[in-house]
Amino acid sequence: MNTTTDTTAQQGRPVSAPLRTEGRSRRTIWILFAVVALVVVAPLTGFTLVKQRQAAAVAEAYWSLAGTPCPTLAPAAFTAGSRKPMTFTFDEAVIQRRAGHMECTHRVYAQAAGRREAPVCDFSGPIALAVAVGGTRAFYAPPGSARVAVIDGKPVCVQRPWTDIGG
């Protein structure tokens, strides 16, 4: 005789047991689930990592400082220009340009203390550039597009192929 009182059983309706999967069949379901998850997730993760590395390599090449150094300009020639220079401060660098557009960001470059982040700006035809960092002031006259970065506290300017800023 059953000593437990179940109102549903006492009313003449069958009591349904909870649905359970036990033993091997339960293990098989979990193993099947893990295999399906691995088959789906692993290729997606690998694909994402490959695409991220490719994008990083493209950005690294785009923001490279490889190129011909910009021709320097005498300070008097910069101040004697007919246009008032446009001044912009980016991190610790005060940058002046005579014309064109600019785009600035931070990139990681090899420096004396290892690979560190540095401010870098692209110019789309500045005519003349003045860069002041700390006590150092440099003047450049790039014939076209240019890139300026501050490496180890000193400005570095390289000529670039035509740059479509923002495009």
Residue 86 CA, chain-centre distance (Å), reads 27
Q: Determine the Cα–Cα distance for residues 85 and 78; give it in Å rounded to an integer.
A: 9
pLDDT of 135-149, one tens digit each?
Answer: 899 999 998 889 999
Q: What percent of the chain stands above pLDDT 70?
A: 83
Between the alpha carbon of residue 125 and those of residues 65, 85, 98, 102, 150, the distances in Å are 17, 13, 9, 9, 19
pLDDT above 70 for 15:
no
Handedness of CA 29, 35, 36, 38 (dihedral sign): positive
Residue 62, pLDDT score: 78
Is pTM beyond 0.85? Reply is: no
Between the alpha carbon of residue 155 and those of residues 67, 72, 131, 132, the distances in Å are 15, 12, 7, 8
pLDDT of 38-74, one tens digit each?
Answer: 888 888 888 888 888 888 888 777 788 888 999 999 9
Residue 69, pLDDT score: 93
Residue 6, pLDDT score: 52
Q: Determine the Cα–Cα distance for residues 120 and 145; give it in Å rounded to an integer.
A: 14
Q: Which residues contact 119 (CB under 8 A, 6 or more apart)?
A: 90, 91, 92, 93, 104, 105, 106, 149, 150
pLDDT of 111-125, one tens digit each?
Answer: 777 788 889 999 988
For 7, the token pair is 């109102």
Q: Determine the Cα–Cα distance for residues 163 and 96; give it in Å rounded to an integer.
A: 18
